[in-house]
Chain A
Amino acid sequence: AQSVAQPEDQVNVAEGNPLTVKCTYSVSGNPYLFWYVQYPNRGLQFLLKYITGDNLVKGSYGFEAEFNKSQTSFHLKKPSALVSDSALYFCAVRARGGATNKLIFGTGTLLAVQP
């Protein structure tokens, strides 16, 4: 069965420091991996995805994520955090060959960036 784990409920980081939000997955075969962000009282917004190719994926708002097949991880990173990055971040996975709308989401990580 497919699953996604986000081991940290909350990540705290000072503005200007690098940030990492962790995600590990379990899926048979090579996965499609996604990161979404949710601002308060809003729907989810797409940040980036890994389909194939370069393991380092660049997305919106300066975020990037690195696909590591051996560690089954897809951690979200940003070199310099902004207060406006404070939000709830979701990692999601889909098995290849499955319907594109059958995503399995992690439980979410709240990112808090202090000024």
Chain B
Amino acid sequence: NAGVTQTPKFQVLKTGQSMTLQCAQDMNHEYMSWYRQDPGMGLRLIHYSVGAGITDQGEVPNGYNVSRSTTEDFPLRLLSAAPSQTSVYFCASSSPGLAGGRGQDTQYFGPGTRLTVL
């Protein structure tokens, strides 16, 4: 298994440009998430999905769109990049916990995409 893969690893954009960060997982996980990591702020949840066709907003969704057409893929789109979106982006996947809270319940992270917006 490749686990969670992300492309590209690095990207430089100009303000106003658009792009899509790709995320794929081969573990048949139902849940997928996008986080951004900024110095001194830890990881913040952008959007998440609990299954194909179902997405919802996290803590910092503004400026980002997502879709989940398949179980494997969860792309993150920046429609008009801004310097404030300069960050490292991580995708993660997990299986839902079993009844009673036990079960896998562990998120697996991709290697990240380092995005710079000039």
Contact = CB atoms under 8 A, between A and B. Distances in A.
Contact of B107 (A9, A46, A108): A46
Contacts of A101: 31-33, 48, 50, 92-94, 107
Nearest to A51: B101
B95 interface: yes
Majority secondary structure, A binding face: loop
A49 B112 contact: no
Interface residues of A, number: 26
Nearest to B48: A101
Interface residues of B, number: 31
Interface in B61-118: 90, 92-97, 101-102, 105-112
Majority secondary structure, B binding face: strand
B43 interface: yes
A90 B42 contact: yes
Contacts of B109: 36, 43-45
A49 B106 contact: yes
B35 to A, nearest CB: 8
Interface of B: 4, 31-33, 35, 40-45, 48, 50, 58, 90, 92-97, 101-102, 105-112
Interface of A: 4, 9, 32, 34, 36, 41-46, 49, 51-52, 90, 96, 99-108
Given A34-B106, A101-B50, 6 more contacts: A36-B109, A46-B106, A100-B94, A102-B33, A102-B58, A103-B43
